[in-house]
Structure 1
């Protein structure tokens, strides 16, 4: 009897999600950044984390630049650990960090109260599929243990899938913003 390894459902879903996101990226993001900025406007003054878009990720930079309050971007300090967030502003000097993500060369560390979260896919339950490192899940778990944190997924509408494979480690989003609008999760 041969030992057949079970398929890695998250890996299969990631491959499919990368392809859908790439196709959506090629089509353009429409008014997504403006919709995100409008959604974030009531949170002015709160510390916001965004991200520096890579590959075919939807671009949150215009919404981050419009935010009235401190803005940070994720910095990976070590594997299998929560993220830290270094203060960012338009035009600040960036250097290459882990996984070739651009990060501010210097700046204060901030603890976000609102997080713009990148992803490969999401579903109607509010779960997201990331790259598999668990950084955002660890970070959300840590921050939510300290107090309320609004987790806002930012994606193309084409990145929605019927059901994201999840386990007990995955953290749920509070909302997803796409070029089609805002979806809130109870």
Structure 2
């Protein structure tokens, strides 16, 4: 598989889908996604989401619902490992120009990780942005404790099958506004 070309095509597909969504339908899809996620997330523990970038599906409403149980990825620099900090309300642009908690926010280890993606398949394999930050974070977290991993996607991002690389960590579930896979 030519992953760079595949990423470009899937990003193009996602962008076209999002651009064609009327605002009311987008809000309905985001509400359906939040409902599915809340049904899967345990009542206790830390849930790490993400700040949606570009056409990624937005999970910020879930962060509002979870309050102080919600965390976000944090980077000191682009090359550094991803850590997680309580989301709170204060945000700053991180090294990728994506909103992240401020440097003084409490560092936490999530029990549930919501994973953005470029594409996912029916078996929970994913293609991410290509830098490996989530794969390394997932491997590290899973080595220390059980963690529930939920890939988050628009339905248009789900394909039949993807060839995983040896370092890829499969997701427990892939959640879209219309279904839960895995």
Identify the residue that residue 10 of structure 2 maps to in structure 1.
17
Q: Where does the alignment leave 5 or more consecutive residues of structure 2 unmatched?
A: none
Kept after mapping to 1: 8 A contact 2:78/2:95? no
Q: 2:139 aligns with which of 127, 141, 153?
A: 141
Count of aligned residue pairs for this structure pair: 175
Compare CA radii of gyration and give the structure with the larger one.
Answer: 1
Distance 2:86 2:159 in 1: 33
Identify the residue that residue 161 of structure 1 maps to in structure 2.
159
Structure 1 residues 74, 138: CA separation in 2 closer, same or farther (over 3 Å shift)? Answer: same
Identify the residue that residue 46 of structure 1 maps to in structure 2.
45
Q: TM-score, normalized by length of structure 2?
A: 0.87
SS of 1:43 mapped into structure 2:
coil
Kept after mapping to 2: 8 A contact 1:114/1:152? yes
Identify the residue that residue 57 of structure 2 maps to in structure 1.
58
Q: Where does the alignment leave 5 or more consecutive residues of structure 1 unmatched?
A: 1-7
Distance 1:125 1:45 in 2: 27
SS of 1:99 mapped into structure 2:
coil
Deviation at 1:22, TM superposition (A): 0.6
Identify the residue that residue 5 of structure 1 maps to in structure 2.
none
Distance 2:124 2:27 in 1: 21
Structure 1 residues 84, 33: CA separation in 2 closer, same or farther (over 3 Å shift)? Answer: farther
Deviation at 1:120, TM superposition (A): 0.7
Alignment of 1:1-186 (within 5 A): 9-26=2-19, 27=21, 28=26, 30-41=28-39, 42-67=41-66, 70-79=69-78, 81-89=80-88, 92-105=89-102, 106-184=104-182
Distance 1:181 1:68 in 2: 25
